[in-house]
Amino acid sequence: MKSVSFTVILMTLLCVSGCGGNGQYDDIKAKMTEIQNGPKGRIKPPPEFKVYKAFAYSAAALRSPFEKPIEVELAALPQKRSNVKPDFNRPKEVLEQYGVDSLQMVGTLMRPGGTLFALVKTPDMGLHRVKEGNHVGRNFGKITAVNSNKIDLIEIVSDGQDGWVERPRTLVLRDD
């Protein structure tokens, strides 16, 4: 057993001594020495970073869009209730089936007795004679005056709070 261990040790020593210097690596050693003794390089300075500006949330005091809006009840203001209301029981006249905006005053007629009539054209090209007191339009309009160049009327419209208000309107003579 001694001879086997002695042989292994001897072989290892021969292998290690075979890889020895003999000047084969002198060029590598010279290059390493040259690099180590050469001028030292400069490292670039670190980049300068811009100063970070934090975002300031300015809508913090406003209502969140994810919450229900606050319901504010308006104080009921006492309002004067007028006694104005349309007469639903009277028979409708022909021109009450048209909106006032769709009617056109196209002329006037004078009777020998002095009554002035206005000529009103409808959207379907019908021509109608009207005088003071006639009703026109869908909003319970009543003609209050007929002149040579205009018709004055009062409409009764809803005020949006279960009441009615009077609204003045005018049909002007068209110069077509």
3-41: pLDDT as tens digits: 778 888 878 877 766 665 566 778 888 888 888 887 777
- 156 pLDDT band (50/70/90 cuts)? very high
CATH topology of domain 94-172: SH3 type barrels. (2.30.30)
Q: Are 157 and 139 in contact (CB under 8 A)?
A: yes
pLDDT tens by residue, 26-81: 888 888 888 888 777 778 888 998 888 888 888 777 888 888 877 777 666 566 66
What is the average pLDDT score of the chain? 85
Read off the pLDDT of each residue in 106-113 and give the average, rounded to a whole number. Answer: 90
pLDDT for res 21: 57
Residue 120's contacts (CB-CB under 8 Å, 6 or more residues apart) are 95, 103, 104, 105, 106, 127, 128, 129, 130, 136, 151, 171
More confident residue, 23 or 159: 159
pLDDT for res 101: 93
Q: Are 108 and 120 in contact (CB under 8 A)?
A: no
Read off the pLDDT of each residue in 132-149 and give the average, rounded to a whole number. Answer: 95
Q: How many residues does the chain have?
A: 176
- 146 pLDDT band (50/70/90 cuts)? very high
Q: Check whether 157 has a pLDDT greater than 80.
A: yes
* Gap between the Cα atoms of 141 and 132, Å rounded: 11
pLDDT for res 7: 87
pLDDT for res 136: 97
Q: Where are the domains of the chain?
A: 94-172
Share of the chain above pLDDT 90, in %: 41
